[in-house]
Structure 1
Amino acid sequence: MKLRAKITLIVAGVVASYALLDHALQRWIVQPRFDELERRTAQTDASRVRRALTAELSALEARCSEWAAWNETCAFVAGARDDSDPERTRRVAEFRERNLGLEAFRQSRIDLLYLVDADGSVRFGRVRDLESGAELRLAELDFDRLTPGHPFLLQPGRAGAAESRQVGGLVLTGLGPMFVASRPLACGEGGSVILGRILSPSVLETLAARTEVPFEVLRLDGELPARDADVLDEATASVEPVVATRDEHALDAWVALDDLRGRPALLVRATLPRSISASGSDALRFALVSTIAAGMLLLFVLLAVLRRAVIDPIARLTDHALEIGRTDDYGRKVALERDDELGVLSRELESMMGKLETSRAQLVDTARAAGMSEIATGILHNVGNVLNSVSVSSGQIAHRLKESRLPKLLKLAELVRDKGENLGAFIANDPKGKHVAPFLLDVSEALRQEREELEEESRALQEGVEHIAKLVQSQQELAGHKELLEPVELGPQVALAWSLVSRGLGPGLAPQFEDSIPDLGRVLVDRHRLVQVLVNLLKNACESVRDAGRRPGRITVGVERSGERLSITVSDDGLGFDEATGAQLFRHGFTTKPGGHGFGLHSCANAATEMGGSLSARSDGPGRGATFVLEIHAPARRAAA
């Protein structure tokens, strides 16, 4: 196999292996994050549907409170109770015509309106279909008088109450799920206003369009589909929406709604497309294709560079050696004007051929003096021996090129030159001289050794490519940084930083350590940067205590919170510093320690800035200790929607 084909196969194999490994890692690390984001998005959408339904109930309760606070409502109920006064009877009729007609139902967006007297007598009661205007019958209110214990008149959970109170919630009726709100009349004469809103298909379609989430409402007093029945217990027991995958294209999210007595009554199922995970898969496929494309581009560029810098010059040297072997023209020039190893090889080869040409001329002159016949025979013999010597020399050159020891090639040239007129005897009698082979074999051997060097360089390139693969592995990971915020408790992070510092001091050498960290719950911070800064501050504090001669000394860590700002103080009773020193503490290259580099506090200040905060220091003066204050932006962990 030719050198070019070998290099192509090796580099192509490296690129393909890296692309497949990178794709596998992305499938293992990145894709699950898309799936988790999709699950959280589904929970958010289901919660939005629940909030929209709750908002409908809140709006109904607000309208009910308005009706109950309206003086004309009280007057209507009182007038309907006593029709002996003609004027009152007239006002009741006007109120009924103006406020209790179909148009009033539509304007208030209610399907049910009942006005009940203090003794439970129904002074007005209607259930209407807002679209057709037809009156409907509701078995739960199909009475002229409501008992004091009627659920529409009592507060949920207060079944024994004797007086009407505020009621609001969900009721399963024969007309479908209905939001009901009941409020006592504000006039103080007793009585209640009851409003209802049927969750009809048109109402649910309006809510679905408003929330941009398609959903279905399933009653729990009937038989549920098997898929919904499987999650019923979990959905009714969980505060968060329950999410499950339907298929590769969609997933479902369930939330339960309680009735006005606090018992589960409805199961809301939102069906959502799996667009986020599909986008993640598309992104991973694009990353794979782009990686392969970049690798192929690298392969083509590398082959072009190798062809120009290595392969073509080696081919010229090969053709040159073959031509010398064919014509015995030792004066041919290869003309490789280069400053690298190939240029050195071509020049040394030409030098060796020049010396060989000189030796041959000397042999011809000697043979001519001894006699044409004998000289001719000697020339043939000696030329063959010289060629054997050239073969040995070429083998030595190839070996030294492999070991990067070119000086041995010069020694071989000096050996040929030193033998002079005795070169023929050396070739004829010396054991080393009998290992002469055609010059072509010498050059071929040298090229073979050079090819091994190129293979070594390709292996080095492979190691470089593998190292590049390790720096991309946030990141992303890290995959844009974004700064990685994690919900953490501060106490364990401070303890971790102190553990890392104190273990390095040795047994019995750590100062006395105290912390005052209130229970702030979990806060969102970049945990690795926070620990990095704390380790630097605690290490500096230990060194300051040690240099001040304190035994054992004291280091204190405190935490305070103000809004979303977190203040962490690290105090010691060590060397302290003056005002001039304090002004330079965070400057790159400034240090007060022998052998220090002035980089630690500078890097801590940069890390604090990256966390949206700052790092400052104060001291009462030399020998009076110091306090470093790390202030960062650390919002409390938000509860799930």
Structure 2
Amino acid sequence: MAFSDLQPRLSTVLRPTERPWIGLAVVWLVLAVGAALIAGELARRQAEGDLARQAQAGAALHAAVLRSELEKHRSLPLVLAQDPEAVALLTDPGPARTDQVDRKLERLAEQTRAAAIYLLDAKGVARAASNWRLPTSFVGEDYSFRPYFTRAMQTGDAEFFALGTVSGRPGLYLARRMADADGRVVGVAVVKVEFDALEADWRGSGEPAYVADPSGVILITSVPDWRFRTVAPMSDAQRRQVLTGQTLGHDALAPLPFRTADARPALVTAAVDGPPESWIAASADTATPGWTLHLLSPAGTAILVAVSNARAVALLAVTLLMGAVGVLLRRRQLAEAQMRAEEAARADLERRIDERTVELRAANDELNRQIDERRAAEAGREMLREELVQANKLATLGQIAAGVAHEINQPVAAIRTSAETVLAYLKRDDGEGVTRTANRIAELTARIGSITDELRAFSRKTTSRPSAVSPDEAIDGALVLLTGRLRASRIAVTRAKAPSLKVLADRVRLEQVILNLVQNAVEALDEAGVAEPRLSLSVAATGDGVEIVIADNGPGLSDEIAGALFTPFVTTKATGLGLGLVICRDIVASFGGELNTRPSDAGAVFVISLKAA
């Protein structure tokens, strides 16, 4: 029975029952609700903690900026108290001196961005001010009633935050007592600092910030409606004490409509330019005695997003868990039906396996036959390659035979002449001459022997594996066979030897490659008719390899020829087959090396790169 015949039966057997699935749905609902509630609460706490740390860091940063602003201006009264011109004005006022000090205070206010800088004499009357040009100039006004004047005269310096009596703008007054050279008190130097720019920066950040003094009165704030309100309700006595020396509106000293955090950040609800929202309230010390900076960081959206995400993840996790349980339940229902279906399908599968086995056995036999044929073809190809290399070698010997014959004829003729000379020395009974001539004959025969040995070794068919070979010895062998050809062509040969270097190669085959390349160079030089033909052979180490460079000063290689130089049956010779360089590159590749050309401005350059032994 085929497996497709079992499908109608399986669809009936595999239909799930309803009871387990109803129970699974109830469990999923209970777990989902519980997990969402727990995850939401944990996420809310985690989000509040993260927001509290961020708010605390933001409050510390705002406090640092405020401290920097205050420290910059606190130095101004101290400098003015020691300024000789300012002291001289309060000691002996005059129109010229007043004008000079007014201008100095005006420049100083512009440079430090102070709201106002002015000098009060010992009676509290302003003698010079930075706003002397304005209609609201302080010059001539009596400020003896201001707390910062009385405190500075008593204690030496004072700081007082209040509304300006002329401008009506809030600011911090920094006062310093001034004395002449004899130590007599002559007046007070006052600098008024306004925080409009700082408050604008706080408003731009989107996080309400405000600074409260030791009494809890808000002095600096990014929300103008909160200025001179309090962080907590005040008693009547506290209100009277704060209002001393101040002129405030009817809403002043009213508590803020929300609870302000004390030492640790806390979640509060406050309305800032809109409906009430959730904020994280944090505070930080400003280093000004009693001043505390408070910062509100938005929290409602972040907490809502964190809780929503946590609940979504919890629901997803519970759903995935119940999905996995549902899969297991479904698999359990399918297990028995699948087991029966497998028994029915097993018999059909065994039958198909038997049929397929017969087909595979026949295909395997055919594959083995093809492998044997391929191996035979590979062996034939290798034998053909060896024969081609040997044929190239013998063809090369045929090309250099005339030169080698000329090299042998010269010492043979010299031997004949030397033999006749020996006979002449014997007739004259000249033993010394006989010995000298016999030694010459021995040298000539040795030279003939080296040439014939080199020919015999070169022509021998070899398939030896690469071993340690001296490149210089291979070059010497090739030059021995080409000495006559080089001499006939009047080619100057230069060598750069490296006797200590060894390469992995077969000496005879490496010699065959060098001989082919040198012979090609000789033919190129002859055809070009170079006036002073030169040929250079050098051996040098390059990293972990060795390079044999063969260069001539012939016409060189064009880009078109260089690109197809190692392509079979591509040649520039009239009678060439275009296989010499292909065979040479194949021989070098069998050593694990490379044969390439190198660009040159004069002549052709071939480089044999081999592995160092």
Please classify the TM superposition score into its range, dividing by the shorter chain length: 0.3 to 0.5
Please, what TM-score do these two structures have when normalized by structure 1? 0.37
Question: Which structure's CA Rg is the greater one?
Answer: 2
TM-score, structure 2 normalization: 0.39
